Amino acid sequence: MALSAEQSSRLAGLLTRHEEQVTQRWTEAIAGSMRGRLSQAELRRQVQDLHRGMIVASEQGVIDLDSEQASELRAVLSELSRGRARQGFSATETAVSVFALKDVLLDLMEDQSDGGALRDYVAFAALVDQMGLFTFESYVRTRESLIADQAEQLLELSTPVVKLWEGVVAVPLVGTLDSARAQVVMERLLQTLVDTGSPYAIIDITGVPAVDTQVAQHILKTVVAARLMGADCIISGIRPQIAQTIVALGIEFGDIATKASLADALRHVLRLSGVETGRRQHRREA
Amino acid sequence: MERVPILKIGDILLVSIQTDMSDQTAVQLQEDLAERIVATGCHGVIIDITALDIVDSFVGRMLSTIASISKVLDAETVVVGMRPAVAITLVELGLSLNGIRTALNVERGMELIAAARADEHDLAFDDQADADTTASS
């Protein structure tokens, strides 16, 4: 239901006449749901911005929130919901900030007893509903972009490739391994193998909380790709529960060397590459 | 027609593939390589594919064929310098270069061939030693 031109100007008049009362009651209504997490002054400023936006829009004869006249109001609303989303308020709390205006309008209009008032109120309420939905959508958008940013940051910082020894590199995997991360890990590892000319790589899965068939598939692919390039991969850091899961799922690692700890894997690699370790030297001398 | 040059370094033949291979170039390379192995008596072949952006089933089969031919002529084949992107693509396509040994770079490839040769020599000497001991007993 859209506002007619007269309703719009009546709304503007109503809001302008009772400016102090509207902002006061609106702020109070929101403050109740916010439970003191935003300062009164901050809330008041936001409500005043909204109020001003509504007056500007309705004076220009806003028919619909999607119309061009309402662009300023939309900007204020999306600014409000962006702020709320970043401060960690829930979607309901954000939407209620807008819906609270309905109560305020009802209080104001109860005094007028002519038949047009009800019709006006329904039209105003429809506008407020639109505003509420708009707020909700911008809230969700902001949240989604936040999540996307975080996922990207996680991808960047969680896949280091470290050099353990001359010719030995290791990837300590931490966290759940999905397809996107597995791809990044694979590319980084293979590129490091080329850059450093290391013939051995150790994939340490101590930090991987669960290994299912998909994760195993990703790891196997990485190992096969490394082999194609002429490097040998060893999987280490297999915890007891993980070993049980692997066997229960029937995952075959074939002739890929697996070790319980990173230390074992490093010792294995050093033996393969013919580096003398302390223990072997002792044994030989004895 | 383009021909892929074959370089001799000590006991090893080095083939560096710089361009996309056509059927004809591949066949020519196989012929040339077989001739050179016989002519020089080399025991190792290193195929450098650093410059290749794409390795498809055709190139994969060519590499396998070269490896088989060299094997028959008693030469070890090592493919070196495969790019990460190429390796990932091969794995995603499910193409495994069966029977082909790989190394990260030419240097490692030469080490690999040297090690393989050393093993064979050891075996030969072991056989000799076994024969000696049986004879003496």
- CATH code where residue B61 lies: 3.30.750.24
Structure tokens at B40: 């020089």
* B84/A191 touch (CB, cutoff 8 Å), yes or no: yes
**B80, part of any domain:** yes
Q: Residue A263: its pLDDT value, please? A: 92
Higher pLDDT, B109 or A93: B109
Q: What pLDDT is attached to residue B54?
A: 83
- Host domain of residue B84: 6-136
Range of the domain at A97: 5-152
Residues A60 and A121 in one domain: yes
Per-residue model confidence (pLDDT) at position B57? 82
Tell me: do A13 and A146 sit in the same domain: yes
Q: Which residues of A touch B109 (CB under 8 A)?
A: 230
B12 touches B37 (CB < 8 A): no
Domain presence at residue B53? yes
What's the CATH number where A47 sits? 1.10.490.130
Among chain A residues, the shortest Cα distance to B105 is held by A197
Work out the burial of residue B46: count CB atoms within 10 Å of its CB; fewer than 13 is exposed, 13-18 middle, 19 or more buried.
buried
Contact A225 B107 (CB under 8 A): no
| Judgement on whether residues A115 and A238 belong to the same structural domain of the protein | no
Q: In this structure, what token pair is assigned to residue A118?
A: 């009800």
Q: Are residues A197 and A135 in the same domain?
A: no
What pLDDT does B13 receive? 93
| Residue of chain A whose alpha carbon sits nearest to that of B99 | A228
Q: Is residue A196 part of a domain?
A: yes
The CATH code of the domain that includes A174 is 3.30.750.24
Residue A157 in any domain: the answer is no
Which residues in chain A touch residue B105, judged by CB atoms under 8 angstroms apart?
A: 197
Domain for residue B16, yes or no?
yes
Residues A138 and A187 in one domain: no
Q: What pLDDT, on the 0 to 100 scale, is given for residue A274?
A: 78
Q: B84 vs chain A: nearest CA distance in angstroms?
A: 5
**Closest CA relative to residue A67, chosen from A134, A120, A141, A12:** A134
Number of structural domains (chain A) is 2
B1 belongs to a structural domain: no
Does A222 reside within a domain? yes
Same domain for A101 and A192: no
Please check whether residues A45 and A143 belong to one and the same domain.
Answer: yes
On whether residue A46 sits in a domain, the answer given is yes
Q: What is the mean pLDDT of residues B6-28?
A: 89
Of A123, A152, A181, which residue sits at a domain end? Answer: A152
Whole-number pLDDT of residue A184: 84
Looking at chain A, which residue has its C-alpha nearest residue B90? A225
Is B22 part of any domain? yes
**Do residues A11 and A123 both lie within one domain?**
yes
Q: With contacts defined as CB-CB under 8 Å, which chain A residues touch B89?
A: none
Instruction: Kindly state whether residues A86 and A173 are assigned to the same domain.
Output: no
Torsion angle defined by CA atoms of residues B54, B58, B62 and B67, in that order, rounded to the nearest 10 degrees: 80
Identify which of B90, B104, B112 has the shortest CB distance to residue A193: B104
| Contact (CB, 8 A) for A62 and A70 | yes
Q: Rounded to the nearest 10 degrees, how much is the dihedral formed by the CA atoms of A65, A70, A74, A80?
A: -110
pLDDT for the residue A170: 93
Cα–Cα dist A225/A208, whole Å:
21
Quote the pLDDT of residue A276.
Answer: 62
The pLDDT tens digits for B43-82 are 899 999 999 888 888 888 888 888 998 988 889 899 999 9
Let me know if residue B17 belongs to a domain: yes
Q: Is residue B54 part of a domain?
A: yes
Residue A268 lies in a domain: yes
ipTM of the complex: 0.73
The radius of gyration of chain A's CA atoms, rounded to the nearest angstrom, is: 32
pLDDT tens track, chain A, 286 positions:
467 777 778 788 888 888 888 888 888 888 877 766 777 788 888 888 888 888 887 777 766 777 777 788 888 888 888 888 888 888 888 888 888 888 888 887 777 766 677 778 888 888 888 888 888 888 899 889 989 998 888 777 667 888 888 889 999 988 888 887 888 888 889 999 989 988 999 999 888 888 888 888 888 889 999 998 989 999 999 888 888 888 888 888 888 889 989 999 999 999 988 776 555 555 555 5
Q: Which residue of B has its CA nearest to A227?
A: B102
pTM over 0.80: no
pLDDT of A124 reads 82
Report, as an integer, the average pLDDT of B13-22.
Answer: 88
Query: A35 φ, ψ to 5°?
Result: 50, 50
Average of per-residue pLDDT across B86-91: 88
Question: Which residue, of A124, A152, A180, is where some domain finishes?
Answer: A152
Contact residues, chain B, for A167 at CB < 8 Å: none
- A130 and A11 in a single domain? The answer is yes
pLDDT at A285: 57
Chain B residues with beta carbon closer than 8 angstroms to that of A199 = 103-104, 108
Question: What is the number of structural domains in chain B?
Answer: 1
Check residue A168 and give its pLDDT: 92
Q: Looking at A126, A152, A178, which one is the last position of a domain?
A: A152
